[in-house]
Chains A and B, each alone.
Chain A
């Protein structure tokens, strides 16, 4: 291996055959042939002109190595001996990539694994990049008190002897908010705005291979129980890889809940062609100041990203305010259901 790396001079077969016959070591000489190759004439020259032990003699003229200015700078900074490098440029000129190749093994000892983008990951990559590229995102955040919501949920579960999740509740509240703010339930494709009357809420579900978004269709017309059953069913299907395309179609608005992680707020990327997405942070115990009084309660932060091409900050802020209102006053929409 070492021999291969350190080989800096090349001799033609003819020169090597003659050198072997004369018992000469060619490794210290420069060639005058193409690309600096040692040719027969060089061997003849050395034997005729250099009588004392050949290896004591310095070569007659050491040709400066051809090297690009960039390559030379890198070599100087990295302290690389250019004499040991075989140039890959024109006429053996050393170019920057030749130097970088020498540096790479010095700087990078870690093993890496490369996997070509495929499947769900590839779809996500394409869609996320497109969304960020095409839609100017604005993210609004607001702290919301959830003390009432937590209590309400506990009572509700006790009363009905069922288990519902915060996500189920959020779907219900977002659906109710969307119904009152139809300008958010809109999509932009090419230069055409489409306003929808159906309220379908997508829920981002994390999976090993990547996010998928099952959809609760007509969420505004469903009871909390129905939403809960529907979502559980779809999440189970998703984890088993049995989600049908129809279970993921026609989403109008997405909820991305990172509440189970140590995340307060974030800037979610809109799931196009939707126009907005709600990011949900964790619930924490918090100090709440109200009417000049301090009390302890629970809060979480909502992050609403919206597409500024489609709507402006004011309607988005109103919409976010509506969600906040429902979360803080859950009985307003859930009281109807006994």
Chain B
């Protein structure tokens, strides 16, 4: 069935709640209003106010409540309306949620999902547009998921809800309207498994979240120019499927990492470092990163457009390192 990304999330929540009575939802405006992006629409009617809870505007309290609830055996799926607000709940996430399983020697489970919306492009200004996955990715003890399409969103959310560890589930706002084929029957996608979205032989492009789609758009142009990119969507950045990335780099010898977050200290830096540490001898060109400039997300529409990495940036990065006698641009001898 062809559905939108937001509907895929909605149906994952609905199916997991039907299946497991310990699953409940809490967050700002998730019950009566159906979520600020309409993700939880209809759930209050079906499951009632005890399982679909409107909270006060206190993100720290929402996460704190979820840590407590999940440690007693419930499976909270809470929503932080904008990823930017996650900054106010770092203590419950980083010092509580991420540490409890470790500190209890695994005796305690913490099946808690924090759904949150990231990303620029909707003219929401510096405090409502950030991509902060690198901050969470840095913390051992939490999983970080970044689905790029409706099929993955549904399968990964179901797996996240069933996982016994805290999971931060990042939904890029720009993807909510994206349509995709999603099966009727129940399925999950294991956390920590990358997907090779497109096979290729000349350059590996690892793209995060909505950048997977920009990379796919760039791939069309590149193929026309005689360059064959392999596109990898890690889907989960923590745990990261390093094996798939390394195998691809071994094949292509070139790597480009694309993310919407700022370049400095981003996930791309970690992937680049890992690749050069582990498969240095397979690199045929310097690793490139395509990411946002090191600045807050601008409010101005033209500036925001400039800020966001796009297909052309990816094509430029590819053209910079796909130089050599095997590429048609350089001419065959």
| A binding-site residues for B, Cβ under 8 Å | 12-17, 31-34, 37, 39-42, 45, 60-61
Contacts and interface: CB of A to CB of B under 8 A. Distances in A.
B325 A12 contact: no
B283 A32 contact: no
Judged by DSSP, the binding face of A is helix
Nearest to B319: A34
Nearest to A45: B325
A219 B330 CA distance: 86
B298 interface: no
Interface in B213-255: 253
Contacts of A40: 253, 284
A23 to B, nearest CB: 16
Nearest to A11: B284
Nearest to B282: A14
A13 B324 contact: no
Interface residues of B, number: 16
3 closest Cβ contacts across the A-B interface? A17-B281, A14-B284, A32-B325
Nearest to B283: A13
Contact of B330 (A13, A14, A32, A37): A32
A33 B324 contact: yes
B253 A14 contact: yes
Contacts of B324: 31-33, 39, 41-42
A37 B286 CA distance: 10
A237 to B, nearest CB: 56
Nearest to A14: B284
B321 interface: yes
B72 interface: no
Contacts, number: 49
Judged by DSSP, the binding face of B is loop
Contacts of B325: 32, 41-42, 45
Point out which of A14, A16, A17 has the most chain B C-beta atoms below 10 A from its C-beta.
Answer: A14
Contacts of B283: 12-14
B333 interface: yes
Interface in B304-325: 320-321, 323-325
A45 B324 CA distance: 11
Interface in B252-280: 253, 280
Contacts of A45: 325, 333
A14 B323 contact: no
Contacts of B333: 45, 60-61
A17 B281 CA distance: 6
A233 B280 CA distance: 75
Interface of B: 253, 280-286, 320-321, 323-326, 330, 333
A12 B283 CA distance: 7
Given A12-B285, A14-B283, A16-B281, 5 more contacts: A13-B284, A33-B285, A39-B285, A39-B324, A40-B253
20 contacts: A12-B283, A13-B280, A13-B283, A14-B253, A14-B282, A14-B284, A16-B281, A32-B325, A33-B284, A33-B285, A34-B286, A34-B323, A39-B253, A39-B324, A41-B284, A41-B324, A41-B325, A41-B326, A42-B324, A45-B333
Contacts of B253: 12, 14, 39-40
A329 to B, nearest CB: 79
Contacts of A37: 285
A148 B285 CA distance: 88
A31 B284 CA distance: 11
Nearest to A40: B284
Contacts of A15: 284
A69 B281 CA distance: 38
B281 A13 contact: yes
A42 B284 CA distance: 11
Contact of A14 (B281, B320, B321, B326): B281
Contacts of A32: 323-325, 330
Contacts of B281: 13-14, 16-17
A31 B321 CA distance: 13
A105 B282 CA distance: 38
B38 to A, nearest CB: 47
A31 B326 CA distance: 12
A306 B321 CA distance: 67
A127 B325 CA distance: 63
Contact of A17 (B282, B320, B321): B282
Contacts of A34: 285-286, 320-321, 323
A91 to B, nearest CB: 10
B245 to A, nearest CB: 16
A17 B283 CA distance: 10
A83 B325 CA distance: 22
A60 B332 CA distance: 12
A254 B319 CA distance: 70
A12 B325 CA distance: 14
Nearest to A34: B323
Nearest to A41: B326
A329 B282 CA distance: 96
A37 B39 CA distance: 51
A328 to B, nearest CB: 76
Contacts of A12: 253, 283-285
B183 to A, nearest CB: 40
B197 to A, nearest CB: 24
Nearest to B250: A14
Contacts of A31: 324
